Each structure stands twice: as C-alpha cells, then as structure tokens.
Amino acid sequence: MNNGKKFGFTTTILHSDRQKPIEHGSLHKPIHTAVAYSYRDARELAQVFQGKKPGYRYGRQGNPTINALEDKITRMEDGMATLCFSTGMAAIGAVVQALLRNGDHVVSSSFLFGNTNSLWQTVNLQGMPVSFVDATRVDNVERAITSATRMVFVETIANPRTQIADLARIGELCRERGILYVVDNTMTSPYLFRPKQVGASLVLNALTKSIGGHGNALGGSLTDTGLFDWTRYPNIADNYKRFAPAQWGIAQLRAKALRDFGGALGPEAAHHLAVGSETMALRIERESASALALANMLNADERVAAVYYPGLPSHPQHRLATELFRAYGGLFSFELNTGIDCFDYLNRLQLAISASNLGDTRTLVIPVAHTIYHEMGPERRASMGIAESLIRVSVGIEDTEDLLDDFRQALEQ
Ligand SMILES: *Cc1c(COP(=O)(O)O)cnc(C)c1O
C-alpha cells in the first residue's frame, strides 16, 4: 500500500492499521488493555520516560489501540498528529487546560453545541474572557479580537440551527494575526469537510457522533493540522521546546491536558470507534440523501413554519456549504406552525426516536429548548436563534422512504 498512491477516503481508513505491523497478522488493531509497559531493563524504561526512546509509559498518556485510532483520524483529517480523549467535551477542555493562561481572551462563535457554550461560561469565570460573536461574518470576529486574543473557536455547521461559520475568511484572519484557529468538525466530519483546507490549526471531532456512528462509545479527538506556527504562541512551556516546533502544541496537549487532567479514551471505546469509522462515508452519504429529502418534504408543507438545513437553497449559507462540503450532512432542524404541539408531533413519530445524541445509525429527534438547551434560559436561546418549538433531527441510515412516511404520517394525524 505504500507506493505513494493516494487512496480514497474509505480505502485509506480500512487499510490504516496495516501501515504499521499489526501483531500476529491481525487485520484489526487488537484491544490492548495493559495500563503499564515494561522494557528490557530499568535504564530503557527511563529512556522511554525521558522521550529519548519511543514507547508507552502509562495508559493515561497513550496505548497502541488508541494510537492506531489516532493515526486513522490523522489520515482522515490530512493532519500532522492526533490525540484522543474520553469524550468530545474532554477534547475541548484539553484545549483550555493546556493552551490558555489567565488573562487570555477567546473569540467563539455564538452558535454552539450547548455544552460547549456552558464550558465557555466556566472558562470566563476562571479568568479567561470569552467573546461570543456571530461567526457567519468574519468582520464580527475581527472586531472582537484584542491583543490578548489567543484563540478563535467555531463549529463548521452549528448544532442545532445549522448556521455555517465564514470558515475560510476566519482562517485567513487567524493566520494574519497568528491566532490559533480551532474548528469543531463534528457536524461535518472529515468525510464532508477537512478544516485544514480553510487554515484550521486544531481540528476537534466528537468521535461519539458520525465517526463512531453507532451510539455505542464516547470519544473525542484533536488533530494538529501542522499549519500553525507554534513559535508564535506565547504559552508553550520551555519543557516542550526541546522538540521540533511543529510538535510543540501536541507535546504540551499530551502532557498538560491528557497526562495532568486524565481524560483518556478507553481502549475498548477506541476499538468501537475505529470499527465504526470504517463505514462512515457510506453512512453519511445515506444520511445526507435522506436529510435532504426530509428537509424538502417538510419545507413544502404548510404545517411547517421553518426548516433549517444547509442543503435548502433558502438557507443563508447554502452557497458556502455547496462550495465547501461534499454533501450537506444528516442534521436539520425545523419548527412546526403554532397550534401544533412539538411534543405531540414527536410522540406520533414511530421510527424516529426521541433521544439526545446525533450521528447514530438510527434517526433521533429532540425538542432542543426543553432538553439540551434548557439550562441556558430563554434569552440566550433566542440570541442563538433557537425557538421554543424547535425540533432537531439527526437522520440515521433507515430507508429513505420509511423516514419520509414516518415524518408525513405524524403531520397528518
Ligand atoms: C456532541 C458534540 C460535542 C461533545 O462530544 P461528546 O463526545 O458528547 O462529549 C462537541 N461538539 C459538537 C458539535 C457536538 O455535537
């Protein structure tokens, strides 16, 4: 496989583990459960600890099963290196713990996954002010930047209202100013979009969602694209400057976040996520096609007040989505006309399941204002464009006709 030829997305994932020898000729990287590792003698152990020899030290900082998944994600993102964490939130937390210091300023999109919004509120209280801006326009981001700004954080397609950040222009702005550009790629996944192409420094993926794809394991990852010049970042400790500058960020993240805060991914979860990732492209193709069909059907129905999906020409960033993404993804949201209770509608659905999570093989629906966005209150919800009756749909891989029938019968009852 190593004749220099570039393979397609799925081929690359399927044959990723084999790029390094796999024990016993196994076709999957096995699940390694050992927490500690021994070497030829005590001196060699010391050399591994001092980074003078490659090897594993202790399970919290890495393990062969996790490394195989990290390599796979690096290939998916066309990155330089990846670190895995126990959840997507642990990966975002790692960015804060390892890379921000008291007084540093963060500019974040205001259209965010609810728990990320909540995390930024905490970070704010801890002495690192966060400015929320409408990141669909680069000038809003630019206006918020101060001399203390270290990081700009955006999601590709925002969950749940599907606003799309001005990804490429924000990338240019961050490069000019030497600011770290962190892109949460969960909603698009590396199959639909590689944030490296718009200049992202670090790419975050909640592996729990489309990459794992089966709702059976939690995980998160951070990929260093290799584009950021870490010599311009003031918060790198001298300890990590003994490596080549390209490695500084990952080295500090591994030690200061993974080792010191301990949000390590379990090897069993890593195995589930790695196997799930093999079918990601196939699942996302199906989910995107069904989501487009459902969004079109609901959009044409007079009982539906609004549909938010980047695949609809009426979506404000439809052209941008068409330019940047391979397809429009499996997530959309909609509002019913007043007079139709969103709970009654959800209860009439027979296939789509009322549940949190997204990127599952099954279609999941949720009344967002009353569940995942309940804690933030009506004012903040309104500022994020989240109506009280908004329903989020994460489309699964059921047959498209069955889904169309289900959403139609629930309207007609
Ligand atoms: C789910 C999600 C996360 C967090 O991932 P977990 O694995 O649930 O912690 C972060 N960002 C986005 C966009 C998400 O959808």
pLDDT tens, residue by residue, 225-268: 999 999 999 999 999 999 999 999 999 999 999 999 999 999 99
Q: Average of pLDDT values for 387-410?
A: 97
φ/ψ (deg, to 5) at 401: -60, -40
Q: Count other Cβ atoms within 10 Å, centred on residue 243.
A: 15
- Which of the four pLDDT bands, split at 50, 70 and 90, describes residue 5? confident
Mean pLDDT of the chain: 96
Q: Average of pLDDT values for 195-216?
A: 98
CA-wise closest residue to 163 among 179, 187, 180: 187
CA-wise closest residue to 388 among 330, 343, 331, 358: 343
Radius of gyration over every alpha carbon of the chain, rounded to an integer in angstroms: 22
Q: Which 8-state DSSP code applies to residue 264? A: P
Q: What is the pLDDT of residue 3?
A: 61
Q: Are strands 105-109 and 149-155 parallel, antiparallel or unpaired?
A: parallel
Query: If you search the block for the tokens 């629906």, which residue do you land on?
Result: 365
Instruction: Answer yes or no: are the C-beta atoms of 65 and 89 closer than 8 Å.
Output: no
CA angle (152 as vertex; 158, 156 as ends), nearest 5: 25
Q: Which 8-state DSSP code applies to residue 158? A: P
Q: Average of pLDDT values for 93-117?
A: 96
- The reply to whether ligand 1 has any atom less than 6 angstroms from the CB of 212 is no
Q: What is the pLDDT of residue 383?
A: 83
- The reply to whether ligand 1 has any atom less than 6 angstroms from the CB of 153 is no
Instruction: Answer yes or no: are the C-beta atoms of 336 and 304 closer than 8 Å.
Output: yes
- Which of the four pLDDT bands, split at 50, 70 and 90, describes residue 2? low
Q: Average of pLDDT values for 269-278?
A: 98
State the chain's maximal CA–CA distance in angstroms.
74
pLDDT in tens, 185-201: 999 999 999 999 999 99
Any residues with CB less than 8 A from the CB of 165 and at least 6 apart, and which?
A: 109, 111, 135, 136, 154, 155, 156, 158
- The reply to whether ligand 1 has any atom less than 6 angstroms from the CB of 185 is no
- Output the CA 239–ligand 1 centroid distance in Å: 31
3-class SS of residue 97: helix
Q: What is the pLDDT of residue 385?
A: 83
- Output the CA 334–ligand 1 centroid distance in Å: 21
Q: Are strands 220-224 and 81-85 parallel, antiparallel or unpaired?
A: antiparallel
What DSSP string runs through 373-409? TSTTHHHHHHHTT--TT-EEEE--SS-HHHHHHHHHH
> Among residues of the chain, what percentage have pLDDT more than 70?
99
Q: Is the pLDDT assigned to residue 170 strictly greater than 70? A: yes
- Output the CA 186–ligand 1 centroid distance in Å: 7
Q: Is the pLDDT assigned to residue 126 strictly greater than 90? A: yes
Distance set, CA 388 to CA 321, 368, 373 (Å): 26, 8, 10
Q: Average of pLDDT values for 316-324?
A: 98
Instruction: Answer yes or no: are the C-beta atoms of 280 and 327 closer than 8 Å.
Output: no
- The reply to whether ligand 1 has any atom less than 6 angstroms from the CB of 88 is yes
- The reply to whether ligand 1 has any atom less than 6 angstroms from the CB of 184 is yes
Q: Average of pLDDT values for 33-49?
A: 95
Q: What is the pLDDT of residue 215?
A: 96
Q: Is the pLDDT assigned to residue 404 strictly greater than 70? A: yes
Q: What is the pLDDT of residue 61?
A: 93
φ/ψ (deg, to 5) at 39: -130, 180
- Which of the four pLDDT bands, split at 50, 70 and 90, describes residue 1? low
Q: Count other Cβ atoms within 10 Å, centred on residue 239.
A: 11
Lowest mean pLDDT segment, chosen from 10-14, 103-107, 371-375? 371-375
Q: Count other Cβ atoms within 10 Å, centred on residue 222.
A: 29
Lowest mean pLDDT segment, chosen from 51-65, 176-190, 259-273? 51-65
Predicted model pTM: 0.96
Dihedral (Cα; 80, 86, 90, 92), 10-degree rounding: 30
Q: How far apart are CA 254 and CA 249, in angstroms?
A: 9
Q: Is the pLDDT assigned to residue 381 strictly greater than 90? A: no
- The reply to whether ligand 1 has any atom less than 6 angstroms from the CB of 117 is no
Q: How far apart are CA 209 and CA 234, in angstroms?
A: 33
Q: How far apart are CA 89 and CA 116, in angstroms?
A: 7
CA angle (285 as vertex; 168, 270 as ends), nearest 5: 85
Q: What is the pLDDT of residue 33?
A: 96
Sign of CA dihedral 97, 102, 104, 106: positive
Q: How far apart are CA 123 and CA 153, in angstroms?
A: 13
- Output the CA 224–ligand 1 centroid distance in Å: 18
